Amino acid sequence: MAQIIMSTPHDAERGKYAKSDQIYFKIRKFDNAVFGVRMKHPATNEPPTAAQQAAQDLFTTVAAKVKTALADASQRAQYKADWKKQKKYKTLTSYIFHVKYEEETAQP
């Protein structure tokens, strides 16, 4: 298991982290490599903008439609037949997500 050390950034980081950041340094056991992970910068803890909230809502709506399409056997069979005809999307879920996203964004 990795050891986690709470620490403050040191000068060797050369500005990668702000002094107000909360940094966790993780030390990998087998080679003692040190990784720094920044957590919750105070400046980025702001609520999402209207555009970001709209994108999040769109993603949630499309994901719910994908889930219902996968649950219905007849829709799933139709999407699977269409998915096998194309080569762009590697998974059935990503193909259905693309179709539902296009339907959702095409509405006026």
Per-domain residue ranges of the chain: 3-44, 50-106
Whether the pLDDT of residue 71 is over 80: the answer is yes
CA distance 56 to 51: 9
Q: Mean pLDDT throughout 97-102?
A: 94
pLDDT at position 18 over 70: no
**Which DSSP string do the residues of 4-62 spell out, in sequence order?**
EEEE---GGGTTSS-TTSEEEEEE-TTT--EEEEEE--GGG-SPP-HHHHHHHHHHHHH
pLDDT band at 12 (very low <50, low <70, confident <90, very high): very low
pTM reported for the whole predicted model: 0.58
Supply the pLDDT for residue 11: 43
When pLDDT is cut at 50, 70 and 90, the band that residue 38 belongs to is low
23 DSSP β-pair partners: 7, 38
Structure tokens at 101: 């996203």
